[in-house]
């Protein structure tokens, strides 16, 4: 949603070119909502969603921890004021020298999903805590993170056993139910798998302590999504069901749910045209596209709300495309986007819910277009 602060900023500053404006008040509210929804879980903000220093500083000052995927992200979290013991290196795919560098910076919590990665960590970060990521089916998610990360639960047992044998602290299990997950029962299935890994290892005397329940908390795009409170209740019920009165330490790693609704992209209509005189679908070209930050429109997975000054007047379906010379730079075509017939070249439009996964996805200078500018207010 474009908050009044964002609208005022755009009206007074009138920034030229496409840009993202993020309202920190919304990020603050989101953090508090997560704290309230899951009071016993530690919040590790997924830095990749939006690493703007102002966002990281705000969250660090509110007591957030951080999930990072590279040494550069570890350093960004530290520069924002987070101590090393509030940072995890959550990428399952790491160079050994990056593990070593993170270890030198004080990081002691690492993700793994195979024995090969465990061996790197045992060498480069001896004695650290490791958690093993298990696969989830990603069902119900609009942006699934499926097969690339994690292993089957039976293999997680071997991975954590191996970690323990190499002197690491076999600390727990992690999963990610898929991003923009609107099925509240997704956590229940994954927690059932986690519990089985806990049980099997307990029989061997290896006592795990933590479940990292990942991200997946949604942002409202065109459809309503359940509130943080509903997620909290569903997740807590699932923890009770599987772990009874011995609920382990838990972590959540919201990315999209922390910043998605805090940002709005201002874009300009560059061209409106047709491919034939009798076409009834107009092509609307914006000054931002897949390579300017809207990469999540890939396969039309994420459908952003678009606000124009003509809303309320008659609409007709449009193909929506970006400005670059690549035919892949089409945002919505399979499902055309309804836009007002009175929309004209030169109009500004607001693309809402774009606080997450936009600035970091924008190309450096494809066709000479500069990377997406961002203002955090």
Ligand X SMILES: *Cc1c(COP(=O)(O)O)cnc(C)c1O
Q: What is the set of active-site residues?
A: 325
Residue 48 sits in the site that holds ligand X (CB under 6 A):
yes
Binding footprint of ligand X, residue count (CB under 6 A): 16
How many contiguous H segments (helices) and E segments (strands) does the chain have? 10, 18
Cα angle: 214, vertex 85, 249; to 5 degrees: 45
In the beta sheet, which residues pair with residue 225? none
Q: Which of 18, 51, 90, 289 binds ligand X (CB under 6 A)?
A: 90
Q: Which of 18, 255, 289, 323 binds ligand X (CB under 6 A)?
A: 255
At residue 120, what are phi and psi to the nearest 5 degrees?
Answer: -60, -45
Q: Which of 101, 256, 282, 290 binds ligand X (CB under 6 A)?
A: 256
SS3 content of the chain, % helix, strand, coil (to 5): 35, 25, 40
The Cβ-side half-sphere exposure at 206, using a 13 Å CA radius, reads 27
How far is Cα 127 from Cα 182, in angstroms, rounded to an integer?
38
Closest separation between CB of residue 259 and ligand X, Å? 9
- Segment interacting with ligand X (CB under 6 A) among 45-53, 189-197, 277-285, 294-302: 45-53
Closest separation between CB of residue 215 and ligand X, Å? 2
CA 376 to each of CA 25, 178, 223, 256: distance values in angstroms, whole numbers, following the listed order: 10, 27, 26, 16
- Segment interacting with ligand X (CB under 6 A) among 54-62, 214-222, 295-303, 308-316: 214-222
Residue 49 sits in the site that holds ligand X (CB under 6 A):
yes
Determine the distance from the C-alpha atom of residue 132 to the mean position of all C-alpha atoms in its chain, rounded to a whole number: 20
Q: Which of 51, 172, 216, 289 binds ligand X (CB under 6 A)?
A: 216
Q: Which of 10, 37, 46, 173 binds ligand X (CB under 6 A)?
A: 46
Residue 217 sits in the site that holds ligand X (CB under 6 A):
yes
Residue 232 sits in the site that holds ligand X (CB under 6 A):
no
The CA R_g of the chain, rounded to the nearest whole Å, is 22
Binding site for ligand X (CB under 6 A): 46, 48-49, 67, 90, 176, 179, 214-217, 253-257
């Amino acid at each position: 949603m474009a908050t009044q602060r964002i609208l005022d900023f755009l009206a007074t500053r009138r920034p030229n070119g496409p840009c993202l404006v993020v309202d920190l008040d919304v990020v603050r509210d989101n953090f508090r909502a997560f704290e309230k929804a899951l009071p016993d879980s530690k919040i590790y903000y997924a830095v990749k969603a939006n690493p703007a220093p102002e966002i990281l500083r705000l969250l660090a000052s509110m007591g957030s921890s951080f999930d990072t995927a590279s040494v550069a992200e570890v350093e960004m979290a530290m520069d924002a004021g987070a101590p090393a013991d509030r940072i995890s290196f959550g990428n399952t795919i790491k160079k050994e020298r990056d593990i070593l560098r993170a270890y030198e910076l004080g990081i002691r919590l690492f993700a793994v999903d195979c024995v090969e990665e465990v061996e790197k960590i045992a060498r480069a970060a001896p004695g650290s805590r490791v958690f093993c990521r298990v696969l989830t089916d990603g069902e119900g998610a609009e942006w699934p993170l499926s097969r690339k990360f994690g292993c089957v639960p039976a293999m997680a047992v071997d991975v954590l056993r191996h970690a323990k044998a190499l002197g690491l602290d076999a600390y727990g299990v992690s999963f990610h139910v898929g991003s923009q997950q609107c099925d509240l029962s997704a956590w229940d299935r994954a927690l059932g798998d986690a519990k089985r890994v806990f049980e099997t290892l307990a029989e061997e005397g290896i006592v795990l302590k933590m479940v990292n329940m990942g991200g997946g908390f949604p942002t409202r795009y065109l459809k309503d999504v359940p509130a943080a409170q509903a997620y909290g209740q569903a997740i807590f019920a699932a923890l009770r069901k599987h772990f009874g009165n011995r609920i382990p330490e838990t972590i959540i790693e919201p990315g999209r749910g922390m910043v998605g609704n805090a940002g709005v992209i201002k874009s300009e209509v560059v061209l409106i045209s047709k491919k034939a005189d009798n076409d009834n679908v107009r092509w609307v070209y914006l000054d931002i596209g897949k390579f300017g930050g809207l990469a999540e429109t890939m396969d039309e997975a994420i459908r952003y709300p678009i606000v124009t000054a003509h809303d309320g007047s008659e609409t007709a379906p449009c193909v929506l495309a970006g400005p670059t010379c690549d035919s892949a730079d089409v945002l919505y075509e399979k499902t055309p986007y309804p836009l007002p017939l009175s929309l004209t070249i030169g109009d500004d439009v607001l693309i809402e819910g774009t606080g997450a996964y936009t600035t970091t996805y924008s190309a450096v200078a494809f066709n000479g277009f500069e990377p997406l500018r961002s203002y955090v207010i």
